Amino acid sequence: MSYEPLLNQTLQQVQYVLVYVVFYRALSSWKSSLTIYFKIALNFAAIFYLALYVGAESWKIGLTITTYFIVAWLLYDFSYGGKLILRGKTKNFYLIAGLLVFAWWILKNTPLLFTIGISYLFFKLLYTTYFSLTTQISKCPRRLEYLEYAFFPITLPSGPINPFHLHDTPPEGSLFDHLRRFLEGVIKLKIFSPIVFTLTYSELSLSGYELSTFDYLICGIAYYIYMYMNFSGLTDIVISLSALVGKSTKENFNEPLRSQSIIDFWRRWHLSLTDLVRDIVFNPIYFMLVKKFGGRHHLSKILSPVVSMSAAFLIMALWHGFTVGFILYYVVHAFGFALNYVYQYSAKHFFSTGYTQLMGSHLYKIGCWFLTFIFVAFSYLLLSMGKDSWKILNSVSM
């Protein structure tokens, strides 16, 4: 495997990114009322170049940016301008959310648009709208600040889903910390991730090799690690570059490979998405069910979070694309979450003393980690195989 083309491509990408960083930093040091206009123009230029780099046509990019701009402009009026919706009323958020998701679906399926970053743009604006309408932020951005945030090119293509109040916060850490994290991200994304990918189902199946049950297990573990290396590496790059231009960005991962349960896994994996879904899907459904059926009975205490989390998984499946692979992935996780929650609830309420002692056992923690790791790896095997998942049954029966 030759790394020279990959290295050249990476250096070229880094070169263009650093040009953006230098210009943005220069504009930030320029104290003028025109600064924000130049930042917005620089963001649009960066998005235009990015779309050209991946092969989009110029007219389609221009139409896409114009459409995105109109949506963001109107959404500002909904959430901050107060012209169409009164602030401070949570119920109004779901009207806006429904309209925004409908617009997202229409635009995503419009062949005239090059939908680069459309999901992250819309859900980023949705999350910021949620914070605005529920009055969870102290500072409302001006329209131009909002547009500069909406079209921030570093987080636009692949996230994280970053609310405005965090984007507007200065980053922590030194220049050395940011550069080190950038390098770590590049290594994970460009070196480790491609190596691990060679052991995934999509690669091994091309060779015509008939996979055994053990081979499928290796494929699942490899795809799980590949997804983490790829996604977390990209996140490291995005967060470090955002910090270099003076912007804070929400963390997306908290060592998910160390998870000791499925519930623990979803507290560590793709945090910007899970936090959004928790706030706008899980919590409202959960509190509605508790209010309707009461929270005193064991059955209600078990069903309320399980039903709410199942709805959250459904939304995340729609977010990623309602394909066979993602349906299987989220069905498996919904099932795992339900089992995990019922087990933890039952143990805490009916065997509290023994469960507390068990939780302190290192052997028990290792066992929980191993079972969780294999379970998640299996879910990623299903995700990677999609319609071919039935082949696993054939390998087991042989």
Cα gap 377→220, rounded to integer Å: 5
Quick one: which H or E segment has residue 231?
A: helix 213-244
Query: Which tens digit of pLDDT belongs to each residue from 237-260?
Result: 999 999 999 999 999 999 999 999
pLDDT band at 84 (very low <50, low <70, confident <90, very high): very low
Report whether pLDDT(139) > 80.
no
Report whether pLDDT(112) > 80.
no
Taking the mean position of all CA atoms in its chain, how far away is CA 85? 28
Report whether pLDDT(13) > 90.
no
Q: What residue type is 8 in one-letter code?
A: N
- For 323, the 3-state DSSP assignment is coil
Cα gap 143→186, rounded to integer Å: 34
What is the average pLDDT value for the chain, to the nearest integer?
A: 85
Taking the CA atoms of residue 85, residue 87, residue 91 and residue 95 in that order, the dihedral angle to the nearest 10 degrees is: 30
**What would the DSSP string read from start to end of 262-314?**
HHHHTTTSSHHHHHHHIIIIIHHHHHHHHHHH-SSSHHHHHHHHHHHHHHHHH
Q: What residue type is 4 in one-letter code?
A: E
Query: Which tens digit of pLDDT belongs to each residue from 263-322?
Result: 999 999 999 999 989 988 898 888 888 888 776 777 778 888 899 999 999 988 887 877
Quick one: which H or E segment has residue 373?
A: helix 362-385
Contacts of 79 (CB under 8 A, 6+ apart): 85, 87, 96, 128, 129, 132, 133
pLDDT band at 125 (very low <50, low <70, confident <90, very high): confident
Query: Which tens digit of pLDDT belongs to each residue from 174-201?
Result: 999 999 999 999 999 989 999 999 999 9
